[in-house]
Amino acid sequence: MHGEAISPFLSDALVILGAAGIVIPLFARLRITPVIGFILVGVLVGPFGLGRLVPQAPWLTWVTITDPEGLAPFAEFGVTLLLFTIGLELSFNRLWTMRRLVFGLGALELLAIGLLLGGLLMLMGQHWTGALGLGLALALSSTALVLPIAGTQTPVGRAALSMLLFEDIALVPIIFLLGAISPAAAGEGLGLLFETIWQGLLVVIVMMVVGRFALPLLFAQAARTKSPELFLAASLLVVIGASLATALVGLSPIVGALVAGLLIAETEYQAEVEGIIDPFKGLALGVFLLTVGMSVDLGMVWANFGSIALAVVAVLTLKALVTGVLLWLMGARRSTATETGILMASPSETTLIVLGVATGAALIQPGTAQFWQIVTAIGLTVTPLLAKVGRLVARQVEPAPAVAPADPDEPRVVIVGCGRVGRLVADMLARHGRPYVALDSDADMIAQCKREGYHAVFGNAARLDVLERLGLALAPAVVLTMDEPVLAQRLTRKVRAAHPDIPIIARARDTRHAAELYKAGASTAVPETLEASLQLSEAVLVDLGVAMGPVIASIHEKRDEYRESIREGAALEHKPKLRTTSLPS
């Protein structure tokens, strides 16, 4: 009798926390990814699993989800937080360098797959409007699953990110396009689409301008309180406020979340915000995956097993082939194109949104929508398996260079980045007989460096375990040469936390970036703008006839003055006590 007074929200919360705290660790012990674990738990506790038996066994309400619709806002919030953390890992400079991939490859991939799938559905008897809606819906890929698997620092992750970013941007135009071709639209959809686009652009521009000034002040005030609760509140305020701003003008909330993450990534509070948001993102994403599992009707799957299996295989195969071929035609390595194509083959969580819009616009029948919702849920479930298959096939297509094991008897300078600056550092170390190893996540760059005789290996420097396998514990120094300010700061913090005494020499874009690197723990930060000025000064003085010795001495003196002023500006409390390792001459 007392159980009737229990809130459904509390019983559902018990199921979710039980899945996160008990079931998922069990899957981890069995080496099954939590993604599959959450989806399978959703199938089990959803209305088509144990939920069917609740009328016969009321006690099952304690281990089932009683209000699936009530979880929808939490699931959407999980995807929003995911896009926010993706923005934290990026920077505006990096996003600008990816513009050709985002609006070139991303647009081509979405349109090619959407039209091909739509054409096949038309041949099967679907009306062209419904076929177009289904084709575009199934062409989308899962941001929530793909990016946590691939990351954003590897060639596969960068290729996937560019396509997924365009898909997230294109979601709103797709929805309005379906509304425009709806029988009841009467031509109003296109006008509303253009209105949403210009209003959305205006909101994003305002957010970028205001955010650059307001966010540092907001987080500075929160940091001064030394209260984690206030810092968390400020972080959630920014995420939700940005999401609501874009949602109010008709754009997806995830666009606002992404822009907010990009803005915070340019501040010194990026690492703290990322660390404090991550647990909430993980739990909210778990809720989203549970809702995906709950949408799978096992009875319908069994009754239509053949047609559903055929549809899943057809969609995955076509998307993998088209994506892989497009990447290869645009210059990607065969291994990268193959792995990315297979990883991006499954439909997306946003596919379910587009299917709902197409159903509401009377473009497809509810039964057709339910069939493709099950295909989408199954595709999402097998995404981690697709990632493993993609890696295995990519190795067969084109074996990638592996990270070389460190020689325990020979300490080596670790150079992160094998581009122009990294190769020059390697040349100088080699000239003075100092052993080194260069690391880069661009397989094409590694292949070129190896052809030119450099000791270079493939690996993702954002993962500290990769650096450890290269002998970071014994390395006399780490040199960061990449032109990625946010990544350089994050990597500096990781290395300094793991090895407090290692010298970290980092390339900085300017004096402001150098100050941030010093705050992160760099022992020496070299601003490009400062070095260019000093070299110009040296060339002018030598051409004017000043003796080389005094010129070099004055240049070194001026460099030391600037370095100390930057350190003071960074408010360093103490300079790290660095190791000194004797190297063979």
pLDDT at position 582: 47
Mean pLDDT to the nearest integer, 94-123: 85
Evaluate whether residue 406 is within a structural domain. no
What CATH number corresponds to the domain at position 541?
Answer: 3.40.50.720
- Using alpha carbons only, give the angle 295, 289, 17 rounded to the nearest 5 degrees: 110
If asked whether residues 445 and 375 sit together in one domain, one would say: no
Number of domains in the chain: 3
User: pLDDT by residue (tens digit) across 277-300?
Assistant: 877 777 777 777 787 778 777 777
Domain boundary residue, one of 63, 87, 112: 63
If asked whether residues 433 and 557 sit together in one domain, one would say: yes
The DSSP element (H or E) to which 420 belongs, if any, is helix 420-431
If asked whether residues 364 and 472 sit together in one domain, one would say: no
If asked whether residues 204 and 342 sit together in one domain, one would say: yes
Evaluate whether residue 582 is within a structural domain. no
Which residue is it, tokens 């209260």?
227
User: CA Rg, the chain, in Å?
Assistant: 27
How far apart are the C-alpha atoms of 506 and 488, rounded to whole Å? 8
If asked whether residues 204 and 232 sit together in one domain, one would say: yes
Evaluate whether residue 577 is within a structural domain. no
Evaluate whether residue 580 is within a structural domain. no
How far apart are the C-alpha atoms of 221 and 362, rounded to whole Å? 51
By the 10 Å C-beta count (0-12 exposed, 13-18 middle, 19+ buried), 19 is classed as buried
What CATH number corresponds to the domain at position 252?
Answer: 1.20.1530.20
pLDDT at position 399: 61
Domain boundary residue, one of 338, 366, 397: 397
Whether pLDDT at 585 is above 70: no
If asked whether residues 354 and 451 sit together in one domain, one would say: no
Nearest alpha carbon to residue 36 among 301, 311, 293, 320 = 293
Question: What percent of the chain has pLDDT above 70?
Answer: 82
If asked whether residues 55 and 159 sit together in one domain, one would say: no
If asked whether residues 52 and 84 sit together in one domain, one would say: no
If asked whether residues 33 and 106 sit together in one domain, one would say: no
Name, in order, each residue with C-beta under 8 angstroms of 283's C-beta and a sequence gap of 6 or more.
Answer: 16, 20, 78
Asked if residues 518 and 572 have their Cβ atoms less than 8 Å apart, the reply is yes
The whole domain housing 550 covers 413-569
pLDDT at position 113: 93
If asked whether residues 199 and 173 sit together in one domain, one would say: yes
Mean pLDDT to the nearest integer, 81-91: 74
Mean pLDDT to the nearest integer, 21-39: 71
If asked whether residues 32 and 137 sit together in one domain, one would say: no
Residue 196: count other Cβ atoms within 10 Å of its Cβ: 17
If asked whether residues 351 and 456 sit together in one domain, one would say: no
pLDDT confidence tier of residue 318, bands split at 50, 70 and 90? very high
Read off the DSSP letter of residue 401.
P
User: What strands lie across the sheet with 413-416, from one edge to the other?
Assistant: 456-458, 436-440, 413-416, 478-480, 504-508, 524-527
How far apart are the C-alpha atoms of 478 and 508, rounded to whole Å? 14
C-alpha count within 13 angstroms, C-beta hemisphere, residue 530 = 22
| Strands, E assignment, 331-407 | none
pLDDT at position 583: 46
User: pLDDT by residue (tens digit) across 188-199?
Assistant: 555 665 776 777
pLDDT at position 273: 81
Most confident region among 53-62, 97-106, 434-443 by mean pLDDT? 434-443
Nearest alpha carbon to residue 349 among 72, 26, 60 = 72
More confident residue, 310 or 192: 310
Helix, strand and coil percent figures for the chain, each rounded to 5: 70, 5, 25
Evaluate whether residue 16 is within a structural domain. yes
pLDDT confidence tier of residue 111, bands split at 50, 70 and 90? very high
Helix runs in 124-186, H state only: 128-139, 143-150, 155-180
Evaluate whether residue 37 is within a structural domain. yes
User: pLDDT by residue (tens digit) across 513-563?
Assistant: 888 888 888 888 888 766 666 667 766 767 667 777 776 777 777 767 766
Is the full-model pTM beyond 0.75?
A: no
Work out whether strand 436-440 and strand 413-416 pair parallel, antiparallel, or are unpaired: parallel
Evaluate whether residue 407 is within a structural domain. no
Evaluate whether residue 207 is within a structural domain. yes
